[in-house]
Amino acid sequence: MKHFIGIVLFISSLWLVSCDPATDHTTPNLDARKQYDLSYGPDTRNKLDVYLPANRDEHTPFILLIHGGAWVSGNKSDFNGFQDTLMAHGMASASMSYRYASSAVHYQELMADVNAALNYCAAQSGTWHTRNNSFVVGGASAGAHMSLLYSYNYDTQHRVSAVISLAGPTDITDVNWLNYAALLNLLGDLQNMVGATYTLNQPLPAQFAAASPIKHIRNLPTLMIHGTVDNVVFYSQSQALEAQLTTAGITNKLVSIPNASHDLGLANPATLQLVINEIVAWTNTYGK
């Protein structure tokens, strides 16, 4: 659950940057821009990298990317290569770093960081010539969990129009997965994120449900991409969310990558292209 998906997207997407021309928008004479290490909050990790396509305007899709890393590692730069690909498709993006989970930083603080990053992007819309609402939020692994949880339960200003999860945990109350996480030496990181302790054969503290996106579903178009043999986050986590969203009549799509593990099989160029196509199509459809 460390930040492998983001790194694979960074490295593998570089060759796809020029595969498609950027979308033509109506605002003239705006050059493409890249800005790094912009501070969106007071913590040293409250930084983001912004990639803005040429000829953008307030209708240009804008996606906020959240890196993986078991909530305790990874960096915004993990998605920089993928940001190049999005920019080549005429999309704006911001990749954010956030405070690592610890004994003092839990999911509430992580949600506050996502909220601050979105507020910053909205406030910069006049300077950047970008939208100030209807953002797509997406991430990989732990970042996918954060994307889902924020979009479903913490987006009080309704700035999110769609959400994307790449191999993200959806149900932190899944005891089978908690036991498996312990075998992977990930339980400590997970407990830091939750802010509570899991004890075998004991009732789960309420924080585990509070930190579970599946417990807070909202009528928000949701794209999930998951490997069917994920050896870190069970594929069944995305299947369960798909079932609950479908029952509730909420637009969603689960893209299953056969025989892929937690890296989604992105080293395969065909799979990488599939994942990029799905993300671009979802963002173009629900990020307008």
Would you state the pLDDT for residue 8? 53
**Burial of 202 by CB count in 10 Å (0-12 exposed, 13-18 middle, 19+ buried)?**
exposed
Task: Enumerate residues 6+ apart whose C-beta is below 8 A from 82.
Answer: 6, 9, 10, 13, 65, 276
pTM of the model: 0.93
| pLDDT at site 117 | 98
* Cα Rg of the chain (Å, integer): 18
Within 141-258, strands assigned E span 160-166, 222-227, 252-257
Give the pLDDT confidence score for residue 22 in this predicted structure: 42
Nearest to 284 by CA among 97, 126, 63: 63
Domain 4-286 grouped into CATH 3.40.50.1820:
yes
Q: Which helix (H) or strand (E) holds 145?
A: helix 142-153
What is the amino acid identity at position 26?
T
Whole-number pLDDT of residue 259: 98
**pLDDT tens digits for the chain (288 residues)?**
555 555 555 445 554 554 444 444 444 569 999 999 999 999 999 999 999 999 999 999 999 999 999 999 999 999 999 999 999 999 999 999 999 999 999 999 999 999 999 999 999 999 999 999 999 999 999 999 999 999 999 999 999 999 999 999 999 999 999 999 999 999 999 999 999 999 999 999 999 999 999 999 999 999 999 999 999 999 999 999 999 999 999 999 999 999 999 999 999 999 999 999 999 999 999 998
Domain residue ranges in the chain: 4-286
User: In 43-133, which ranges are continuous DSSP H helix?
Assistant: 80-88, 107-123, 125-128
Q: Is 205 helix (H, G, I), strand (E, B) or coil?
A: coil
Which residue, among 138, 133, 141, 166, has the nearest Cα to 150 in the 3D structure? 138
Query: Helix, strand, coil: what percent of the chain each, to 5?
Result: 40, 15, 45
pLDDT recorded at residue 288: 84
